Amino acid sequence: MTVHGAIFYLLSGVILFATAAAVTRRHPIHAVLYLIAAFSATAALFFLLGAPLVAAFVVILYAGAIMVLVLFVIMLFRQSPGDLGLTFDRTPAALLGAVFLALAAAMVSKDPGGRIVLQEAVARPPELGRFLFNRYWLAVEIVSILLLVALVAVLQLAKKGEGADGTGENTREDGQ
């Protein structure tokens, strides 16, 4: 097995472990942190496979912007600082961080003149757009509908907590 193969399988294991940890955590902030670790490992996997632009997009968009937004929303809906529950078992997080740092160090220090040569693939934005909308148009439409449904759900959740006067208190006389 080559070094690339070993790093690939280790990164895949990190992704699976971090995703499983994110799904099984009861505290949403811990779940988001594990999900950020899974996205970071996914970006490292893309980088290993020769797609640094996709890796940068994963880090910037998913691990950066979207997860920070999700974390902000989770923190926004918390009632008191005591609900944050900052005490948790740090062993899985420390182990995951150590494995991820070791894999990142191995990727950075790998031999640039190695045996494996990846073929260069160039896709300009118009070509990518035609490819997506010609071949995967249904998936693109389904994702757009899901995003619309999520937006409507967030608006309904925000409206539910707000009273008629906009203060968050119910102003009806019957208390409903």
pLDDT at 59: 86
Q: Measured between alpha carbons, how far is 104 from 5 in angstroms, rounded to an integer?
A: 14
**Which tokens hold the place of 95?**
């182990």
Write down the pTM of the prediction.
0.52
Would you tell me how many other CB atoms lie within 10 Å of the CB of residue 122? 5
Name the helix (H) or strand (E) containing 10: helix 3-24
Structure confidence at residue 103 (pLDDT):
77
What pLDDT was estimated at residue 153?
Answer: 80
Cα separation values, 154 from 1, 75, 142, 148, Å? 48, 15, 18, 10
Q: 122's torsion region: left (phi>0), alpha (psi -120 to 50) or beta?
A: beta
Burial class (CB in 10 A: 0-12, 13-18, 19+), 40: buried
Residue at token pair 């925000």: 158
Q: In a structure prediction context, what are the per-residue pLDDT tens digits for the chain, which is 176 residues long?
A: 777 888 888 888 889 898 888 888 878 888 888 888 899 999 988 888 877 778 888 888 887 888 777 777 777 776 444 555 555 567 777 787 788 788 777 776 776 565 665 566 666 777 777 877 788 888 878 888 887 888 788 778 777 766 555 555 555 555 55
Q: How far is CA 33 from the centre of its chain?
A: 9
* Cα-based distances in Å from 140 to 52, 53, 58, 131, 136: 23, 21, 18, 11, 6
Displacement of CA 118 from its chain's centroid (Å):
27
All structural domains of the chain with their residue ranges = 3-121, 122-168
Rounded-to-integer distance, Cα 55 and Cα 50, Å: 9
Q: Which fold has domain 3-121?
A: Four Helix Bundle (Hemerythrin (Met), subunit A) (1.20.120)
Other CB atoms within a 10 A radius of the CB of residue 83 amount to 11
CA 142 to chain centre: 19
Output the pLDDT for position 81.
44
